[in-house]
């Protein structure tokens, strides 16, 4: 303990000296970072890692090093006028009354609804007995510990009980309790394991299916991040009586869940690993083994049950997805028939049986199109949306309410009720945000990647903006895990526009915008395609007169953090500043930390000799070159990140500071009481966003508006 205090005091003193130096001269020096070489042999290739010691978050020297780095970061960012402007604007734009889509129980009239008042820091979970009744608060995390939040809420089918999870500091690992809704009493029931998730209540409301991971000590060390299994809990019984109903004994990465159909007649068993899964099916209450519907982990399958018919969406032999139909009495694959055939160019995201019709939600050129079908598979019409954007459909087959949410770059997230008979959207809720989004315009352009593949990209900017080669441009991106980046409303990005900038959003390979083949073209040995797509976007923006490297900023988080990290080491000449959030950067060893081995399906693993070659070829941490003039970088990690360990951020900062000690600033923020998505409260999120955007604005010479 004495040694720890000495280290902290020495580094703290150094940090204070650095702050004084910055204030007086505008110069700064990084905290000293020791090097402890560790050499590993990967299939005949020796790699030395000088910063392996920074992986241990509990080491007192690591803690002191992080504190020193953060003091340096704050000494540079906290003085920026852009940060004060950003905080003031976000406190206006983010503090308004907001509510979610109402959810009615299956058996009865009770309704559940999330709301957030202007002054509240977190969302509140409410209920009312029927449409005309007053709202009653069920869960108000604003009265809990500041780090606690709601981590899921699942009412019973009759609305008598509520299973709800509580998370801590954004850790995404909810622990569930059960409430009697009428009395507000929290029942003594507890569940097994950790990272619990209640999936579906039984038809008689006597219990529910849930998924959970094993506790430490129940499996070999480190494997508590894996082995998620499905359990059945009966109300009033101890957790030790919960029955494991679906699991796997050999593959620890598989996720398991069980859901009950809306009519309460059938159960669907799902075993999944990202974009591939298996489906089993049986009648509720049956003690027979479930019937295999789709096995072999050969494709992605999702199931909806309507009037004793099973609708199966899949990309099996259909990269853009199609829908099959089967009788519940004969669910096996050999009895499937085509219900909605694969579209020739648009990806089918999902289907939503609601209000007696089947809503098919497509992506056309990365924005939403909704088509309506009847239960015979006949196409009826498209739903007309307000503009090009992103939309979702929610509802139940047996309820007349069909809810459509819509958002776009300059259209705040809005809830509509869809009137099928009148074919019209009826406004239900639109937030009152103090910004004139109509001043902005959006266009979609196409450019060629390095190998000639056409890539789509959205450009959002103020009307009348001059294309003079001098616009401050924010280039975002993701490109992975079959995730689509579609037009959506973002107040923080609108502030970039308000300050006179342009936001560019390319649809990179590896994402899901154009189907399974588009995803596969950016994974494993083809991951470099994603980086090439992103680099080509920057080149196109420069060549077409929108900006220049000195005014180009990049932003990416998680897999997008890997993206901007790869950009930084492959083309440091093309941009001025980068925000690299909760990133994967040491790709040679990423799979050894926490649950990250589940991502081997996407990236591959260095444990395989052939996969090691292409992973090592692009791993950003391993391609930092001494003496290179790198862009300014702010790299962030989160202490409670349930997905990406912040060690990636620590090690990358240390390596880049070593490589370019007198160049552009490379800064670290390791955020406490925060998870993969940042802080829990609005106040913390505002502070964190202000840090990021002010850093980027300052680096590309973008003053705060007066």
- Give backbone dihedrals phi and psi of 266, rounded to 5 degrees, phi first: -135, 155
Instruction: Tell me which of 449, 619, 676, 694 is the catalytic residue.
Output: 676
CA–CA gap between residue 657 and residue 659 (Å, rounded): 5
Assign residue 159 a region (left: φ > 0; alpha: ψ between -120 and 50; beta: otherwise): left
**Nearest-angstrom CA–CA distance, 188 and 235:** 9
Active-site residue, 591 included: no
Dist CA 458 CA 445 (whole Å): 6
Alpha-carbon gap, residue 114 to 415, rounded angstroms:
13
Identify which of 82, 84, 34, 28 has the alpha carbon closest to the alpha carbon of residue 61.
34
DSSP string, 481-521: TT--------HHHHHHHHTT-EEEEE--TTSSTT-HHHHHT
Q: What is the DSSP letter of 567?
A: H
Secondary structure of the chain: what % helix, strand, coil (to 5)?
A: 25, 35, 40
DSSP type of residue 704: P
Do residues 464 and 445 make contact, with C-beta atoms less than 8 angstroms apart? Answer: no
Residue 434 burial (CB count, 10 A)? 10
Q: What are phi and psi of 65, to 5 degrees?
A: -65, -45
Sort 584 into a burial class: Cβ within 10 Å, 0-12 / 13-18 / 19+.
buried
For 77, list phi and psi in degrees, rounded to 5.
Answer: -90, -40
Q: How far apart are CA 102 and CA 395, in angstroms?
A: 10
Q: Is 266 exposed, middle or buried (0-12, 13-18, 19+ CB in 10 A)?
A: buried
334: left (phi over 0), alpha (psi -120 to 50) or beta: alpha
Alpha carbons 433 and 96: distance in angstroms, whole number:
7
| Ranges assigned E (strand) in 379-420 | 379-383, 390-395, 402-408, 411-419
Strand order in the sheet with 402-408: 390-395, 402-408, 411-419, 424-429
Q: Is 248 a catalytic residue?
A: no
Phi/psi of residue 673, each to 5°? 50, 35
Tokens of 117: 């008042």
Which residue among 229, 558, 638, 694 is the active-site one? 558
Cα–chain center distance at 300:
19
Question: For the chain, how far is it from start to end, CA to CA, in angstroms?
Answer: 50
Residue numbers annotated as active site: 558, 676
């Amino acid at each position: 303990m004495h040694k720890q205090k000495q280290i902290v005091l020495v580094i703290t003193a150094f940090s204070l000296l650095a702050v004084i130096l910055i204030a007086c001269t505008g110069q700064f020096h990084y905290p000293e970072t020791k090097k402890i070489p560790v050499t590993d042999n990967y299939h005949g290739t020796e790699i030395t890692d000088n910063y392996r010691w920074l992986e241990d978050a509990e080491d007192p020297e690591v803690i002191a090093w992080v504190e020193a780095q953060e003091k340096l970061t704050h000494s540079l960012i906290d003085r920026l006028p852009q940060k004060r402007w950003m905080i003031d604007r976000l406190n206006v734009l983010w503090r308004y009354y907001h509510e979610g889509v109402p959810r009615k129980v299956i058996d009865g009239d009770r309704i559940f609804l999330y709301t957030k008042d202007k002054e509240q820091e977190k969302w509140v979970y409410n209920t009312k007995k029927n449409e005309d009744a007053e709202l009653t608060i069920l869960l108000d995390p604003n009265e809990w510990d500041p780090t606690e939040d709601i981590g899921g809420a699942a009412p019973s089918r009759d609305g008598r009980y509520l299973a709800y999870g509580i998370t801590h500091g954004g850790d995404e690992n909810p622990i569930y309790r059960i409430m009697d809704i009428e009395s507000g009493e929290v029942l003594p029931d507890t569940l097994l394991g950790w990272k619990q998730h209640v999936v579906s209540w039984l038809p008689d409301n006597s219990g529910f299916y849930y998924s959970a991971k094993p506790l430490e000590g129940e499996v070999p060390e480190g494997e508590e991040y894996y082995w998620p299994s499905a359990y059945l809990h009966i109300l009033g019984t101890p957790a030790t009586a919960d029955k494991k109903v679906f699991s796997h004994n050999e593959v620890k990465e598989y996720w398991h869940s069980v859901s009950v159909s809306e009519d309460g007649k059938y159960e669907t068993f799902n075993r999944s690993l990202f974009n591939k899964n298996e489906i089993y099916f049986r009648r509720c209450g049956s003690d027979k083994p479930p019937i295999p519907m789709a096995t072999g982990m050969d494709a992605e399958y999702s199931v909806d049950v309507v009037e004793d018919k099973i609708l199966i969406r899949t990309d099996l032999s259909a990269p853009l997805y199609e829908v099959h139909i089967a009788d519940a009495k004969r669910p096996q694959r050999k009895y499937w028939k085509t219900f909605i055939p694969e579209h020739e160019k648009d990806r089918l995201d999902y289907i939503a049986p609601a209000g007696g019709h089947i809503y098919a939600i497509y992506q056309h050129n990365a924005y939403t199109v909704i088509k309506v079908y009847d239960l015979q598979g006949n196409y009826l019409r498209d739903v007309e949306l307000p503009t090009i954007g992103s939309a979702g459909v929610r509802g139940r087959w047996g309820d007349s309410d069909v809810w459509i949410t819509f958002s776009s770059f300059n259209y705040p997230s809005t809830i509509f009720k869809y009137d099928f008979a009148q074919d019209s959207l009826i406004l239900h809720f639109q937030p009152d945000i103090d910004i004139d989004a109509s001043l902005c315009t959006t266009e979609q352009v196409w450019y060629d990647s390095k190998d000639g593949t056409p890539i789509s990209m959205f450009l959002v900017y103020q009307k009348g903006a001059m294309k003079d080669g001098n616009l401050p441009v924010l280039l975002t991106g993701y490109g992975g895990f079959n995730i689509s980046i579609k037009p959506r409303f973002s107040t923080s990005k609108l502030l970039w526009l308000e300050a006179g900038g342009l936001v560019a959003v390319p649809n990179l390979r590896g994402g899901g915008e154009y189907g399974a083949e588009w995803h596969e073209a950016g994974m494993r040995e083809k991951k470099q395609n994603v980086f090439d797509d992103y680099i080509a976007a920057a080149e196109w923006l420069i060549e077409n007169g929108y900006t220049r490297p000195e005014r180009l900023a990049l932003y990416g988080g998680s897999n997008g953090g890997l993206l901007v990290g790869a950009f930084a080491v492959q083309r440091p000449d093309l941009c001025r500043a980068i925000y690299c959030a909760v990133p994967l950067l040491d790709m040679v060893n990423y799979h050894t930390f926490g649950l990250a081995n589940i991502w081997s399906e996407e990236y591959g693993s260095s444990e395989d000799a052939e996969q090691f070659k292409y992973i090592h070829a692009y791993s950003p941490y391993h391609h930092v070159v001494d003496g290179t003039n790198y862009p300014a970088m702010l790299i962030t990690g989160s202490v409670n990140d349930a997905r990406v360990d912040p060690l990636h951020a620590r090690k990358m900062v240390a390596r880049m500071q070593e490589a370019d000690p007198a160049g552009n600033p490379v800064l670290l923020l390791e955020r406490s009481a925060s998870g993969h998505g940042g802080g829990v409260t609005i106040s913390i999120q505002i502070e964190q966003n202000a840090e990021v955007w002010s850093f980027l604005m300052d680096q590309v010479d973008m003053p705060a508006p007066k």
